[in-house]
C-alpha cells in the first residue's frame, strides 16, 4: 500500500466517480460531459477536492468550499461535503488525513469555522468527525430536498 495525498485534478474525475458509487449506491453515475461541466464550475469557485490515492486509484476524498462571510470580521466559513473512504481502506487513518488536510486549508483561508453535515443514522461517521474535533451538539442542521 503506497498512499499519496493530493488535491484532485480533472483527469482523476473518473476514479472519483467510481469511489462515489460507494457513497450513494442507488444514484445514477453522471456522464463524463456532465462531470467536466461540474468541474468547470468547481474551478471557478473556491472549492478543493482533497483525496488519497493508492497506486493512482482514488480511495478517499472530500471537498471543501470556502464561503465568504460578512460577519465574524469578514472571516469565511468552510463547508466540507461528500466525505468517503473506500470500504477496504477504512480504519487506517486515511480519511482522517484528508479531513485534516481540508481543515488545514480552511485555516489557511482564514475561516472561523468548518461545517459538515451527516445523516442522523451514521453513528460511526459521527464518532469519526468528533475524533477530529467536530462538535455534533453545537448546531442543528436543516435541509429541504429539491
Q: What is the pLDDT of residues 26-45, one digit of tens each?
A: 888 888 889 889 999 888 88
SS percent in the chain: helix, strand, coil, step 5: 40, 25, 35
* 15 CB burial (10 A radius; 0-12, 13-18, 19+): middle
Q: Which domains does the chain have, with CATH numbers?
A: 3-131 (3.40.630.30)
Query: What integer pLDDT is reported at residue 75 of this predicted model?
Result: 97
* Over residues 18-27, mean pLDDT: 88
pLDDT of residue 1: 72
pTM of the model: 0.91
Amino acid at each position: 500500500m503506497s498512499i499519496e495525498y493530493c488535491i484532485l485534478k480533472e483527469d482523476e474525475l473518473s476514479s472519483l466517480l467510481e469511489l462515489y458509487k460507494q457513497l450513494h449506491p442507488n444514484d445514477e453515475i453522471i456522464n463524463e460531459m456532465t462531470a467536466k461541466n461540474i468541474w468547470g464550475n468547481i474551478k471557478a469557485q473556491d472549492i478543493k477536492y482533497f483525496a488519497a490515492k493508492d497506486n493512482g486509484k482514488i480511495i478517499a476524498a472530500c471537498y471543501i468550499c470556502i464561503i465568504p462571510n460578512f460577519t465574524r470580521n469578514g472571516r469565511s466559513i468552510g463547508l466540507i461535503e461528500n466525505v468517503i473512504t473506500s470500504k477496504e481502506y477504512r480504519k487506517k487513518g486515511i480519511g482522517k488525513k484528508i479531513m485534516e488536510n481540508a481543515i488545514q486549508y480552511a485555516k489557511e483561508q482564514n475561516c472561523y469555522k468548518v461545517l459538515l453535515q451527516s445523516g442522523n443514522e451514521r453513528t460511526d461517521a459521527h464518532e469519526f468527525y468528533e475524533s477530529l474535533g467536530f462538535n455534533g451538539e453545537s448546531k442543528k442542521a436543516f435541509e429541504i430536498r429539491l
